[in-house]
């Protein structure tokens, strides 16, 4: 959410940013919020003046009563009563204008970074850099569910019976591999100096609307019926929410956090054939990284975050690339974002395995996450990035580490989490 003072003083900048995001339908909002802001400031000023007048007038009542001027005192009481009636209306108008202003302001997108490429949608995202050489194999690589099935490692049919489409059972070596990757990711981030957390898996609505847009919430979040609670779609939601209504000394910055959680998502919409199996599902687990920092340092930590993910995947011998998200592909709260994509030798292309985002002060402003400096309090910047999110990451792992004999090689960093195994061998 933008600062209303910034919108008031820079309406054309805000409108140009909306155009860059190809959201022209939102252009009228800028003039609407400026008009609402003026009404709000007017009623607040009137209220302040009336309260000052009431205080002064109320003192006159006592003086008049002391002088025996009861009739004059009664007239002054009537005047105070009229002021109180007007103040009641002003308070109602203030709440109304504040609610309307907040609702409209939350729809206006954050000002994107100057380095963000301009484009309408994800088809215009821009490749930045590749890490590791992409390749094809001399042998055919099966579909990821078929690879898992050779290890007797997946049961989708039973999951459909118990839970419906978009769920799975992982078993045996595949389930162990899934857990090993998460354990390695946890220790990888701890060794990087990030504090490990296991957060709540449900959050209240005020936290949800603080960390994401309403449209995203409707498409992603599962609501707990009868309670003001939502299942998290990523632990970033809980981790940023942890600092709601806090003021932290700026010398304690940055806060570097890494968190494990299950994630729950509606995944609204239709998806392509390569998103069958366990690519796009309603329930998965993820290791996340979050940074809260001073505004002038967020660009530096943005680069640190995506580099962590690249290093993690390369340590497991998986080729990856980074893809800069264009303006039209950025969620409204994001200033800048890039995807990390893993190479699929079976498909001969890359696919997304993580997303790194700099949200500027958008989440901090909504949740009142502030820093205390020499010149007063100010809003922090928040950033997040995926370390790893199996079982999607398992697709990249199985395809890239699959051997011609059907076994899957276990890279050295992962072996300690797999009981020392250097490979897993199919059962079928």
- Would you list which residues are annotated within the binding site? 234, 265-267, 288, 352-355, 384
Continuous segment of H or E residues that includes residue 53: helix 27-66
- Does the CA dihedral 200-206-303-116 come out positive or negative? positive
Q: What is the CA radius of gyration of the chain?
A: 28
Which residue's entry shows tokens 């975050």?
305
Residue 316 phi, psi dihedral angles, 5° rounding: -105, 15
Exposure b/e, 60-88, CB count within 10 A at least 16 = b: bbeebeeeeeeeebeebbebbeebeeeee
Query: Residue 304 is encoded by which pair of tokens?
Result: 């640190």
Cβ atoms of 160 and 362 closer than 8 Å: no
Query: Residue 184 is encoded by which pair of tokens?
Result: 């390695």
Residues annotated in the binding site for ATP, as ranges?
265-267, 352-355
The neighbouring-strand residues paired with 291 are 256, 383
Distance in angstroms (rounded) separating the CA atoms of residues 210 and 208: 5
Closest by CA position to 231, among listed 260, 209, 262, 268: 262
Exposure b/e, 105-136, CB count within 10 A at least 16 = b: bbebbbbbbeebeebeeeeebeeeeebbebee
Cβ atoms of 394 and 408 closer than 8 Å: no
Residues annotated in the binding site for L-serine, as ranges?
234, 265, 288, 384
- Does the CA dihedral 142-143-144-150 come out positive or negative? negative
Cβ atoms of 315 and 309 closer than 8 Å: no
Closest by CA position to 281, among listed 399, 417, 394: 394
Closest by CA position to 256, among listed 200, 296, 316, 298: 298
């Amino acid at each position: 959410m933008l600062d209303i003072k910034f919108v008031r003083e820079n309406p054309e900048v805000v409108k140009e940013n909306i155009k860059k995001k190809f959201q022209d339908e939102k252009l009228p909002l800028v003039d609407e919020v400026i008009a609402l802001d003026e009404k709000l400031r007017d009623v607040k000023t009137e209220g302040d003046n009336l309260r000052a007048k009431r205080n002064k007038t109320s003192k006159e009542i006592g003086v008049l009563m002391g002088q025996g001027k009861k009739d004059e005192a009664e007239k002054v009481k009537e005047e105070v009563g009229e002021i109180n009636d007007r103040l009641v209306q002003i308070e109602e108008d203030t709440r109304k204008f504040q609610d309307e202003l907040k609702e409209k302001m939350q729809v206006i997108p954050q000002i994107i970074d100057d380095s963000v490429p301009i484009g309408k949608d994800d088809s215009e995202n821009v490749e930045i850099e590749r890490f590791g050489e992409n390749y094809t194999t001399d042998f055919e690589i099966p579909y990821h569910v078929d690879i898992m099935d050779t290890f007797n490692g997946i049961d989708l049919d039973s999951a459909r019976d118990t839970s419906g489409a978009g769920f799975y059972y992982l078993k045996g070596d595949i389930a162990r591999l899934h857990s090993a990757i998460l354990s390695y990711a946890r220790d990888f981030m701890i060794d990087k100096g990030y504090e490990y957390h296991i957060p709540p898996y449900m959050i209240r609505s005020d936290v949800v609307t603080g960390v994401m847009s309403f449209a995203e919430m409707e498409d992603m979040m599962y609501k707990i019926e009868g309670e003001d609670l939502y299942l998290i779609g990523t632990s970033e939601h809980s981790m940023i929410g942890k600092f709601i209504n806090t003021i932290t000394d700026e010398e304690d910055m940055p806060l570097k956090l890494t968190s494990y959680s299950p994630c729950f998502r509606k995944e609204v919409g239709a998806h392509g054939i390569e998103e069958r199996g366990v690519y796009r599902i309603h329930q998965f687990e993820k290791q996340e990284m979050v940074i809260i920092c001073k505004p002038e340092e967020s660009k530096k930590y943005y680069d640190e975050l995506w580099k962590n993910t690249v290093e993690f995947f390369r340590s497991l011998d998986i080729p990856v690339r980074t893809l800069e998200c264009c303006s039209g592909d950025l969620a409204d709260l994001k200033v800048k974002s890039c995807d990390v994509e893993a190479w699929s030798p079976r498909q001969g292309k890359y696919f997304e395995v993580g997303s790194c985002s700099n949200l500027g002060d958008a989440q901090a402003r909504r949740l009142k996450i502030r820093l205390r400096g020499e010149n007063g309090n100010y809003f922090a910047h928040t950033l997040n990035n995926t370390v790893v999110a199996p079982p999607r990451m398992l697709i990249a792992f199985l395809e890239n580490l699959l051997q011609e004999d059907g076994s899957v090689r276990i890279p050295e960093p992962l072996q300690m989490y797999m009981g020392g195994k250097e490979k897993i061998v199919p059962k079928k």
